[in-house]
Amino acid sequence: MSTVEVTKDNFEKTIEDNALVFFDFWAPWCAPCRFFGPVFEKASDKYPDAVFAKINTEDQPELAAALNINSIPTLMVFKEQIGVFAQPGALPEPALEELIGKVQELDMDMVREQLKARKN
């Protein structure tokens, strides 16, 4: 599966309709974004069960602001509608592969319990 373009109009639906979503916040003028783009695209082909979405911060400034994106590229990951990772910086392919593996293995029942405990 190749990457998909996400906007403020389909951001929430993308999270709601998919169990695992990786978001790449980027801009065309950003050199590290241009480095990370092909790495992200390659991962999208390798992991068809996940959605790999790109958000152009130049075209979607409201969405970037709402999510406190202060630096690009920023990678944000949602699993089962819960944000489980957000970090600025271009990851090399081995680091992205390791992150994908860790997110896939993440016990979401434990994550929900931890979130519930924090609220109490």
Q: What are phi and psi of 106, to 5 degrees?
A: -60, 130
| Whether residue 22 has pLDDT greater than 70 | yes
The whole-angstrom separation of Cα 41 and Cα 15 is 19
Task: Print burial letters for 12-43: b (CB count within 10 Å at least 16), e (below 16).
Answer: eebbeebebbbbbbbeeebeebeebbebbeeb
Tens digit of each residue's pLDDT (9 = 90 or more) over 68-103: 999 999 999 999 999 999 999 999 999 999 999 999
- DSSP 8-state assignment for residue 52: E
Domain that includes residue 45, residue range: 4-119
The domain that holds 83 is classified in CATH as 3.40.30.10
| Number of structural domains found in the chain | 1
Q: State the catalytic residues.
A: 30, 33
Question: How high is the pLDDT of residue 3?
Answer: 92
Question: How high is the pLDDT of residue 118?
Answer: 86
Tens digit of each residue's pLDDT (9 = 90 or more) over 1-18: 689 999 999 999 999 999
Tens digit of each residue's pLDDT (9 = 90 or more) over 24-58: 999 999 999 999 999 999 999 999 999 999 999 99
Question: How high is the pLDDT of residue 1?
Answer: 61
